Amino acid sequence: MFNLIKKDALVQKSLIPLYLAIVLVYLFLGTPLSFLIFLLSISLMMNAFYYEEKGNSHVLFNSLPYTRKEIVSSRYVGTLFYTTVIIGVVYISNLIVNGKDVPFSLKDVLFTFGMTMTLTAVIFPFFYKFKQQFLLIAFGFLTGLFMFTYKTILYVFRDAFAKLVQWIAALPDLQLYGSATIIILLLYAGSWLLSIRIYNKKVF
């Protein structure tokens, strides 16, 4: 499985200078480290899907001595691995750029992992189910629909959203973080199993 995880970096080695340039630009702009790490982690994994589909790599992977479960699992494990690597790169880059140690607490690390795992859990099954061209069309349609209806949506759900925020803010930190961790882990595990099921049924 390690080779499957490593190939996500190898197929994007030409983009590494671009990723580093993005890190430096965003650091100079004072972007929060959590958001920067989240952005890079998701970008790396989405580009990995793009290059696989572009090169029709799924046919090759399925001819190698890897099960489909291992192929999918490597992507989910790889997301956590590369997020960890990116945390280290961004933190060291920030020391070099700013010349000082900007606090990046355990809470920030957990928050970054939580955001990355949540979005990963939502989008990965779609990438395994549909071709990217259809996903781009759907994304464009949903974006346009949201732009025209966001005021209505905000008006309808404003009170409910305000009450939800107040309820979450009233929770003790331990209960809040514990509940969020359990929900994210269950969501990630459910997405993982769903992606395996979808990929097992695909015909290449």
- The pLDDT value recorded for residue 158 is 63
124 domain-assigned: yes
Per-residue pLDDT band for 133 (boundaries 50, 70, 90) equals low
Mean pLDDT of the chain: 79
- The pLDDT value recorded for residue 190 is 96
188 domain-assigned: yes
What is the span of the domain harbouring residue 116?
Answer: 2-129+171-200
53 domain-assigned: yes
45 domain-assigned: yes
- Whether 145 has a pLDDT exceeding 80, the answer reads no
Q: Residues 6 or more apart from 93 whose CB is under 8 A from it?
A: 20, 23, 24, 27
142 domain-assigned: no
- The pLDDT value recorded for residue 68 is 85
What is the mean pLDDT of the segment spanning 35-39? 85
Per-residue pLDDT band for 102 (boundaries 50, 70, 90) equals low
158 domain-assigned: no
Give 126 or 173, the one with higher predicted confidence.
126
- Number of structural domains, the chain? 1
0.85 cut: is pTM over it? no
